[in-house]
A and B are shown apart, each in its own frame.
Chain A
Amino acid sequence: NAGVTQTPKFQVLKTGQSMTLQCAQDMNHNSMYWYRQDPGMGLRLIYYSASEGTTDKGEVPNGYNVSRLNKREFSLRLESAAPSQTSVYFCASSGDRSYNSPLHFGNGTRLTVT
């Protein structure tokens, strides 16, 4: 039982390049999320998917797109990377949107945009 798996672990991009961050969970969770974590700031929600086939914007969606490929997988795409997108990206899942369900996080993708 791997939980939430993110790939790649590290990535360096040049400004303007594109890439897709992959996330998969094996806990049969309905809800999945993408967060970014920057020094001195709390985790900020980029996009989330309450269930297969639905996605919604979070607090900081600009410059990103997502795809909920199936119940297990939720990918995050940067179409044209900018230095401001240098961050650590975390994917998370939860059993449902109920307020007592904890988030299960992956171990992050460390992205540097030069």
Chain B
Amino acid sequence: KNQVEQSPQSLIILEGKNCTLQCNYTVSPFSNLRWYKQDTGRGPVSLTIMTFSENTKSNGRYTATLDADTKQSSLHITASQLSDSASYICVVTLQTGANNLFFGTGTRLTVIP
């Protein structure tokens, strides 16, 4: 069964600290993996996309990694800011099929001063 699991469900960190969010998936055949950021009361916004051949990709203070062999991805946030408080959603795309996106339930990150 195609599934995407994220951990932890929620996380509280101090401003300025780093954190890592995890995404494990069983989706196959894999096409790509995307991380979205969802602020409270808003729609998700794409942060980064990882394709099969990519191991690491950065977007400012956000760095995503992908291990296609173990079917794991992580999102590392460096020097967190209050504005990083949001839900982070992992979405995996199948290579085929009409309904080919699989969403994780998200990690709720709270950055406190």
Interface residues, chain A, CB within 8 Å of chain B? 4, 40-45, 48, 56, 58-59, 90, 92, 99-100, 102-103, 105-108
How many residues on the B side are at the interface (Cβ–Cβ under 8 A)? 25
Q: How far is the CB of B102 from chain A (nearest CB, A)?
A: 8
Residues of B within 8 A of A105 (CB): 43-45
Main secondary structure of the interface of A (DSSP, over half): loop
Give per-residue flags for B68-105: 1 if the beta carbon is below 8 A from chain A beta carbons, else 0. 00000000000000000000010001010011111111
Question: A102 with B99: in contact, given A42-B105, A108-B42, A108-B43 (CB under 8 Å)?
Answer: no
Interface residues, chain B, CB within 8 Å of chain A? 4, 31-32, 34, 36, 41-46, 49, 51, 89, 93, 95, 98-106
Q: How far is the CB of A49 from chain B (nearest CB, A)?
A: 11
Decide if B45 touches A100 in the complex (CB within 8 Å): no
> Once the chains are docked, how many angstroms separate the CA of A98 from the CA of B74?
24
- List 3 tightest A-B contacts by C-beta distance, closest first: A105-B43, A42-B103, A102-B46
Q: How far is the CB of A5 from chain B (nearest CB, A)?
A: 11
> Once the chains are docked, how many angstroms separate the CA of A70 from the CA of B103?
28
Additional A-B contact list (4), CB under 8 Å, known A4-B43, A42-B89? A41-B105, A58-B99, A92-B43, A105-B43
> Once the chains are docked, how many angstroms separate the CA of A108 from the CA of B43?
6
> Once the chains are docked, how many angstroms separate the CA of A42 from the CA of B87?
11
Main secondary structure of the interface of B (DSSP, over half): strand
Residues of B within 8 A of A56 (CB): 98
Residues of B within 8 A of A100 (CB): 31-32, 49, 51
Residues of B within 8 A of A42 (CB): 4, 89, 102-106
| Nearest A-chain residue to B9, judged by Cβ | A40
| Nearest A-chain residue to B104, judged by Cβ | A42
11 contacts between A and B (CB under 8 A): A42-B104, A45-B99, A48-B98, A56-B98, A90-B44, A99-B93, A99-B100, A100-B32, A100-B49, A100-B51, A103-B101
Question: A43 with B89: in contact, given A99-B95, A100-B32, A100-B51 (CB under 8 Å)?
Answer: yes
| Nearest A-chain residue to B100, judged by Cβ | A99
> Once the chains are docked, how many angstroms separate the CA of A41 from the CA of B106?
9
* Most interface-central of B44, B103, B106 (chain A CB within 10 A): B44
